[in-house]
Homo-oligomer: A and B are copies of this chain.
Amino acid sequence: MSSRYNSILTEIYNEALPLKQTGTVANYIPELAKIDPDKFGIHLRTLDGDDFFIGDSDEKFSIQSISKVFALALAVSLIGEKVFKRVGVEPSGSSFNSLVQLEYEKGIPRNPLINAGAMVVCDILIDKLKHPKKEILNFVRKLSGNQSVSFNEHVAASEKEFGFRNAALANLVKSFGNIHHTVDEVLDIYFHICSLEMSCRDLATAFLLFANHGKLPNTHEEILTKSQTKRLSAVMQTCGFYDEAGEFSFTVGLPGKSGVGGGIVALHPHKYAVATWSPRLNAKGNSVMGMKALELLTTKLGSSIF
C-alpha cells in the first residue's frame, strides 16, 4: 500500500503542476499577498500512522478559515450540541446576501464555517475558557502533535486593521444578542485563529481526529463523540468550501475545509486525512492546485464517499 500511495502522490503532484500559473493569491491583507505563489505541497496521513508527502508539505502557512473547524471542534467538545442552538448547520448560498440572511434569520448564522458563525463559536470559547487564545493554541497543538504551531501576530494585526466587514458582521450578530462578549474580544480571538500557521503535515495529522470517530489516533483519547464527529464531517461536507461545496462534493467527494491562505484539508472517514497547500486561488477563493490534487487523489484511489 505504502508504495502505491507514494507513487500516486508523485503522479498527482506532477499532473497538478501545469496549473501553477492559474489563479490569484489572496491580497485583501498585505501579509497574505507577500507569500511565494509557487509553493505546492501535499501530505496524506493514514489511520495506520503512515505518512506520504511531497513538495512544500512541511512549510507552515496561514491556515485562515481552516481554523474555523478547530474552533468548532473545541466548542463542541466543551458544550456539545448546545453550540447548534446559536449557529445553524445549513449551507448559506452565495455570499452576496450574507448580511441580509443574517438579518432574516435574526442573528443566527447559517453555519459555523461562515465568518459570522465562527464569531459566535469564538464567543462561546471566550465564555468557557479562562485563557482562550492559549487554550485554543494548546488544543490545535495537541491535535497536530506539533508544539511549534502558533499565531502570526502580524497577520492577526493586519486582519484587524482591514477587518471592517468582519466588524460589521460581528456588530450585526451582537445587535441580535447572539454575541455575549464585546465585539473587540470576539474579533481578537477570531483574527488570531485565522492567523494560525501550520504545515500540510500538521493539518493532515490534526484532521485524522475526524477520520477516527473523534478519538486521537495515537492515544485513543476521545475528544468528540462519534455523533459529534459525524456532525462536524456533515457540516464540512455541505459548508466547507464557500460557494463551491457542491463542486467539491462532486470533484473530490470528501468532507473538508479550505482557507484563503491556499490550504485545503479533507478526510476519508475511517481511512485518512490529507492536506494540500498552494496559494493561487480560483474565483471562489479555493486553491486551484489543491482542488485539482484532491480530485486526482480520490479518482486514482477510487475513494470518494459517493
Contact = CB atoms under 8 A, between A and B. Distances in A.
Summarize A's interface: helix, strand, loop or mixed.
helix
Copies in the complex: 4
Interface string A80-104: 0000000011111110110111011
Interface of A: 88-94, 96-97, 99-101, 103-105, 110-111, 164-165, 167-169, 171-172, 174-175, 183, 229-231, 233-235, 237-239, 243-247, 249-250, 253, 255, 269, 304-306
Nearest to A305: B305
Given A111-B246, A235-B250, A237-B249, A104 B99 contact: no
B169 A168 contact: yes
B305 A91 contact: no
Given A101-B93, A164-B171, A164-B174, A239 B234 contact: no
Nearest to A104: B96
Counting chain B CB atoms within 10 Å of each CB, the highest count among A88, A89, A183, A235 belongs to A89
A306 B255 contact: yes
A231 B306 CA distance: 9
A86 to B, nearest CB: 15
